[in-house]
Amino acid sequence: KPGEQKHPKEPSSSQCMHLAVVACGDRLEETLIMLKSAVLFSNRRLCFHIFAEDSLKPEFEKKLKEWPSSYTKKFESNIYPITFSVGNAQEWKKLFKPCAAQRLFLPVILKDVDSLLYVDTDVLFLRPIDDIWHLLREFNSTQLAAMAPEHEIPKIGWYSRFARHPYYGTTGINSGVMLMNLTRIRSAQFKNSLIPGGLSWEEMLYPLYQKYKNYITWGDQDLLNIIFYFNPECLYVFPCQWNYRPDHCMYGSNCRGAEEEGVSILHGNRGVYHDDKQPTFKALYEVIRDFPFEDNLFQSLYYPLQSKFLDTVHTLCGRIPQVFLKQIEKTMKKVYENRVIVYLGANHRY
């Protein structure tokens, strides 16, 4: 906006919010629905960085071109092959889920990108990416990445009960939503369990993997936990509503931030968009998937969602529909108001 002062910590590439995802195997549709949720609600321009197997590249290009121009003008997309700069590529590729380890190499590959939001394919945005992007301004001088805790309650958390390697904090961190200042990551020296001095991000990855590979269960997420265990001052921890998973409601509601503000980013891990174990997660996925781009958000997205939720009230997560609906309703009101104001502004010159 003219005359508006930039915050000193705003990333230099402020004209574009960078969003990265890694898609292999059968993750094409899921990734496209995630990108759709990003475009539906965001205000500022988006730059997509899609890392995909060669066979998926033409599919992504074709599908994204089919979106209406009112949406395609809101983003640009780059599609990259899967590559690993250090160590054994086949070993990295097979770590945990196909290609998931690619995210560890983003600071090395995207050399010209200052800051980046990485998400798993099974993520849905229920509010503008702008809002999580603003958290970059909250980093102090040592923080270079942000993630949410893996769990809120240590006694039922996975890491606190089963991990055989070091992990961050009391319950570990979940890497499905990861905000990164890549410039800082590239220039930092990281403390580690390998040598007394520090190592750069790229130097550290493969030796660290070799040291702990017999103890890790969740692949690259475990490596990130190990890195931030040794470098806790480098991590900004954001609250659970920015990475809301079935674990937050299937053992009773244990994400206070979501109860107060509503879910900001939904993370349907454990395949819950595609089975019937968590119908509330599936309902959100299907409604965003089926939403015709140019339609009215309330009529074609919010009302179908409300009626689908009525069928899930008997489930553990379905008992708290307001948690899922609060933020998306607020977001849609804003989008609607912006469109009306833009429309009126175009027809009435003040």
Phi/psi for 14 (5° steps) reads -70, -15
Per-residue model confidence as pLDDT tens digits over 40-84: 999 999 999 999 999 999 999 999 999 999 999 999 999 999 999
Q: Report the range of poorest mean pLDDT among 103-107, 112-116, 158-162, 217-221.
A: 158-162
Virtual CA dihedral for 209, 215, 217, 219, nearest 10 degrees? 0
Residue 266 forms part of a structural domain: yes
Same domain, 57 and 153: yes
What is the rounded CA–CA span in Å between residue 327 and residue 260? 10
Same domain, 225 and 280: no
Type of residue at 78: N
Same domain, 245 and 233: no
Residue that the structure tokens 């197997």 belong to:
53
Specify the CATH number for the domain of residue 96. Answer: 3.90.550.10
Mean pLDDT confidence for 143-148: 98
Contact 145/132 with Cβ under 8 angstroms? no
Same domain, 62 and 92: yes
Count of the separate structural domains present in the chain = 2
pLDDT of 6 > 60? The answer is no
Same domain, 207 and 280: no
Residue 55 forms part of a structural domain: yes
Same domain, 265 and 184: no
Domain boundaries, position 293: 241-345
What is the rounded CA–CA span in Å between residue 182 and residue 195? 23
Same domain, 274 and 303: yes
Domain boundary pick from 209, 238, 267? 238
> Where are the strands (E) in 235-319, listed by range?
235-237, 265-267
pLDDT of 331 > 90? The answer is yes
Same domain, 180 and 312: no
- Two structure tokens written together for 241: 């509503």
Residue 277 forms part of a structural domain: yes
pLDDT of 292 > 70? The answer is yes
pLDDT of 93 > 70? The answer is yes
Percent pLDDT > 70 in the chain is 93
Residue 5 forms part of a structural domain: no
- pLDDT value at position 1? 42
Same domain, 167 and 228: yes
The sheet that has 145-149: what strands, in order across it? 75-80, 46-52, 17-23, 115-119, 173-181, 145-149, 235-237
What is the rounded CA–CA span in Å between residue 299 and residue 302? 6
pLDDT of 7 > 50? The answer is no
pLDDT band at 152 (very low <50, low <70, confident <90, very high): confident
- pTM beyond 0.85, yes or no: yes
What is the rounded CA–CA span in Å between residue 94 and residue 288? 31
| pLDDT: which is higher, 97 or 207 | 207
Same domain, 31 and 174: yes
- pLDDT value at position 264? 98
Mean pLDDT confidence for 251-280: 95
pLDDT of 153 > 80? The answer is yes
